[in-house]
Structure 1
Amino acid sequence: MVKARRPAWKRYIYIIIPLGLASIWLWRFLNNAESTDLQALLQNLPKEITQSIDSASQQKQDASMVEMFEKLSADLLQKQDEQLQKFEKERRALEKRIQDLKQPSPHASLRENLALIFEYRPSYRFPAFLWQTWPYSDTDGRMDPVLQSYERHWGDKNPGFVHEIINDDAASALVHYMYSAIPQVVEAYELLPSANLKADFFKYLILLARGGVYADIDTDALQPVPNWIPENVSPREIGLIIGIENDASNPDWRSNYVRRLQFCNWVIQAKPGHPVVREVVARITEITLERRSEGELRMNLRNDLNIMGWTGSGIWTDVVFTYMNDYVQSGILSKITWKEFHKLEVPKLVGDVLVFPQSSFNAPEKDSMDKDSDSNKALHFATHSGLKSWKAGPKIGDEE
């Protein structure tokens, strides 16, 4: 009897199943071996490599911390600046309110009331104001093209300054506003019989109340205002900056000047409330009111000496010397005379008044400069053409 044969596929099952089990076992064995080898490899790495990895990670963390700290510092500084600006704004507003509340006493003198309302603070900075006067608007066609170029130069060389050209109407309005609490000053200003006298008086009035730089319209800026103060002098030590107008070297100086050595008043820089400016305002006010009471307001305004002695560089020079010789105000023990500034070649600080040589605010024209003047060119701050347009005005006898 022949036995039946088993199907072929059954025979293959007995072969495939053991092979599959063997493959699975081998795969698991190899994986475990690789993992074990990798762990062993990592454990056997040199210490320098592991330390380098740790150091890089630490540096990354440190850099992140520094970046966070810098950002925090910047935020704090910004908030601090904003807070300081807020405090400064509030302080100025408070000072303005206090200033508005100040009322002169009816029993106080003119000088006491001026000192009360326009307080002098030596430690404060020079205000960034630039004042000029002209009878009409600076865009008026009657202004000479040369004067227009001068006016532009002042503004171009001092971009951070508030530059104002004050015409006659605006000047009168400002005087009435700033000195409303001191009617004697307003009265004296209105009594002055000439627009040129008023313009002269106005320069002191605006400097006393607001401070800054005053420059006649016929002056031309050669250097920015911040260049005026020498590097070895602190602005906190200075309250007034002036220059010499004339340093007479011949005996007939009296025919052209009131004093042998005069300080110019066509360019002045002052801090608000400076005692020299306050005193010249008081003197002009008193002289004008006295002239009114004596019937001497009307005079020949074509005479330079009359102008100099009333509102010009003559009375200005007298007040400056009086201040320098007042120990209580200037702190100077020795007597100061014109000889202290005779042939002055470098700036000289007397008390808190900085005096510049004659060429500083009356620099020679470029065409007339010689070798000697070039050596002092660093002190040439402005030129003065001295147009004296007031001489072309009508005679006082013709005015109504």
Structure 2
Amino acid sequence: MSNIEDRLLHYFPFEEYEEGQKNFLKLNNDHEDIPQHFYDQWKKFRDDDKLKLTLVEKNQHELAALVREKLKPTVPEVLEAFEELPIELQYEFGKYLLAYFHGGLYVNENSIVLRPFRDWYFSRLFETGLIVGISVDDNEEDWHLFYTRRMKFTNKCFYAKRHHPFLAKLIAKITYLVHQHKKDLQKMTYREMQKKTDESGESLLFSITGESIFTDTLFD
């Protein structure tokens, strides 16, 4: 896993002092239409004069072409892992790959704008490289009855600079897990993956590409 991570950072070096990319990242699922209200509510957000966010929108075929172009000659294990995943998990993995190569703000279509992006936290001393939100933060004694983890960070809305080391580590970890579970993944349908759990009682969907691995990697 560390070898994959090292090569990602070697071939796609992180520029710590580079200005963050002002991209609005959107990955379209080929099997679902994007609700019009998503575009309506984020249009004002994207067109903010102070930000001038550039929309980077790709469908899954375009994303697959990007991954193949970038990774086949450099870190082919990641490309192989991406192609091994069922289409639904490719979508989850694709979020991180899109952010890694382009940099910017990724948002799921069911997210709702509460505060303008310019009002989010940005350091005045250093170029902010990563912003994540909290999905679960439960301090009650019975938290385990409702969640598999007491605290989770969300992968539905996050900001990252291009080639950020967190994303390199996350991509490497997912790649490693996919290769480990390759035989299981090839046999199971998407619904079966939802039902199959790991030792913590968590669905494979979350433990391989979802919020759980996102959270664990961030803590690492």
Alignment TM-score, normalising by the size of structure 1 = 0.48
Please name the residue that 1:111 is paired with.
Answer: 5
Give the counterpart letter for 1:127 in structure 2: Q
- Is residue 180 of structure 2 the alignment partner of residue 282 of structure 1? no
Please name the residue that 1:270 is paired with.
Answer: 160
Please name the residue that 2:20 is paired with.
Answer: 126
- Is residue 126 of structure 2 the alignment partner of residue 224 of structure 1? no
Please name the residue that 1:338 is paired with.
Answer: none
Please name the residue that 1:149 is paired with.
Answer: 40
- Is residue 157 of structure 2 the alignment partner of residue 259 of structure 1? no
Give the counterpart letter for 2:24 in structure 1: L
Write out the 4+ residue segments of structure 1 that deviate beyond 6 Å after TM superposition. Answer: none
CA offset digits 1:2-23 (Å, max 9, x no partner): xxxxxxxxxxxxxxxxxxxxxx
More helix by share: 1
1:1-400 alignment to 2 at 5 Å?
A: 109-136=3-30, 142-157=33-48, 160-180=52-72, 181-193=74-86, 195-230=87-122, 233-234=123-124, 236-292=126-182, 295-297=183-185, 298=188, 300-303=192-195, 305-322=203-220
Please name the residue that 1:22 is paired with.
Answer: none
Q: 3-state SS of the aligned residue for 2:171?
A: helix
How far apart, CA to CA, are the structure 2 residues paired with 1:235 and 1:164?
28
Give the counterpart letter for 1:205 in structure 2: L
Kindly tell me the number of residue pairs found equivalent between the two proteins. 207
- Cα distance, 1:287 vs structure 2: 0.4
How far apart, CA to CA, are the structure 2 residues paired with 1:133 and 1:256?
30
Q: 3-state SS of the aligned residue for 2:203?
A: helix
- Cα distance, 1:175 vs structure 2: 1.3
Does the 8 Å contact 1:157/1:223 carry over to 2? no
Identical pairs, percent: 26
- Cα distance, 1:318 vs structure 2: 0.6
How far apart, CA to CA, are the structure 1 residues paired with 2:151 and 2:104?
25
How far apart, CA to CA, are the structure 1 residues paired with 2:125 and 2:107?
20
Alignment TM-score, normalising by the size of structure 2 = 0.83
Higher RCO, Cα 8 Å, sep 6+: 2
Q: 3-state SS of the aligned residue for 1:265?
A: strand
Runs of at least 5 residues in structure 1 that lack an aligned partner in the other structure = 1-107, 323-400
1:154 to 1:237, Cα distance in 2 relative to 1, 3 A: closer
Does the 8 Å contact 1:248/1:260 carry over to 2? yes
How far apart, CA to CA, are the structure 1 residues paired with 2:7 and 2:219?
23
Runs of at least 5 residues in structure 2 that lack an aligned partner in the other structure = 196-201
